[in-house]
Amino acid sequence: INDWHTVSCRLNIAANARAEELSLLQWIALANSIAPPPRPETRVTMDERFPIVDKHDHIVGYAKRSEVHGNNLRYRAVHILIFNQAGDVYLQQRSRWKDRHPLKWDSSAAGHVAAGESYDDTARRELKEELGVLVALQKIAKLPASQKTDQEFVWLYRGVASGDVVPDKSEIEQGAFLPPTVIDGWTSARPEDFAPGFLECWKTYRRQTRSRSEAQIFSHHNGAAPSD
């Protein structure tokens, strides 16, 4: 933010406020107030070919992007959640030029599996193209194709970036690292700010992390229990 003083005054935020001191409403207002200057439209290649799959995620053919989106066909995609060392998650705001869900907030990186690619190939490619980083990725869960995911089978990945991310300005309007609790509150208060696929991915991720935490607590308690 080039003129933080003006922005902080407009949003009634103390100029020296720390990130953890902002309320949920202040986070939302801040994220939605940062608008980059208009730029020339980046032409999306509508001739890209994607694998079309059946209800079991088996490839049954191929179609152009325009055909996939126009006919609501079932296909494959990846979503990646990138964390920093503090445990915050990078969210991107989708470019205004996207043919689906423009200007909605989304996963750190996401994209369609192209012809000849695996899910893992696509995750690495999208992360490099959109954020300019290559990190080790962990598979979290696979989401079934449904209306909530725009008929995409989605593999969800997680990774940790040790340095800065470099967003591709042709793909991303803006982005920010946010604490998971802030994302929880924001998605609950204003789900319309987000791409629907991200909402499903975030719900899945939070269920997974809660389940792991509960399992760890249970294991710890059992291990700490005195033996007879």
pLDDT one-digit tens code per residue, 164-192:
899 998 889 999 999 999 999 999 999 99
Query: Residue 192: helix, strand or coil by DSSP?
Result: helix
Tell me the whole-structure pTM to 2 decimals: 0.75
What pLDDT, on a 0 to 100 scale, did the predictor assign at position 211?
A: 65
Q: Which amino acid belongs to residue 149?
A: T
**Residue 136 per-residue DSSP state:** -
**Is 205 within 8 Å of 140 (Cβ atoms)?**
yes
Question: Could you give the domains of the chain?
Answer: 1-34 (no CATH), 73-221 (3.90.79.10)
The b/e string for 72-102 (b: 16+ C-beta within 10 A; e otherwise) is ebbbbbbbbbbbeeeebbbbbbbbebbeeee
Q: How many CB atoms lie within 10 A of CB 129?
A: 13
The pair phi, psi for residue 33, each rounded to 5°, is: -90, -15
Return the residue matching tokens 């696509």: 122
Q: How many CB atoms lie within 10 A of CB 105?
A: 26
The mean predicted confidence, pLDDT, of the chain is 86
Question: pLDDT tens-digit profile of 73-100?
Answer: 999 999 999 999 999 999 999 988 887 8
Helices (H), the chain: 4-10, 24-33, 65-71, 119-131, 180-189, 196-224
Choice between 3 and 155, residue whose per-residue pLDDT is larger: 155
- CA angle, 117 as apex, 47 and 206 as ends, to 5°? 105
**Residue 226 clears pLDDT 70, i.e. is over it:** no
Closest Cα partner for 151 from 70, 64, 48?
Answer: 70
What pLDDT, on a 0 to 100 scale, did the predictor assign at position 219?
A: 52
What pLDDT, on a 0 to 100 scale, did the predictor assign at position 9?
A: 80
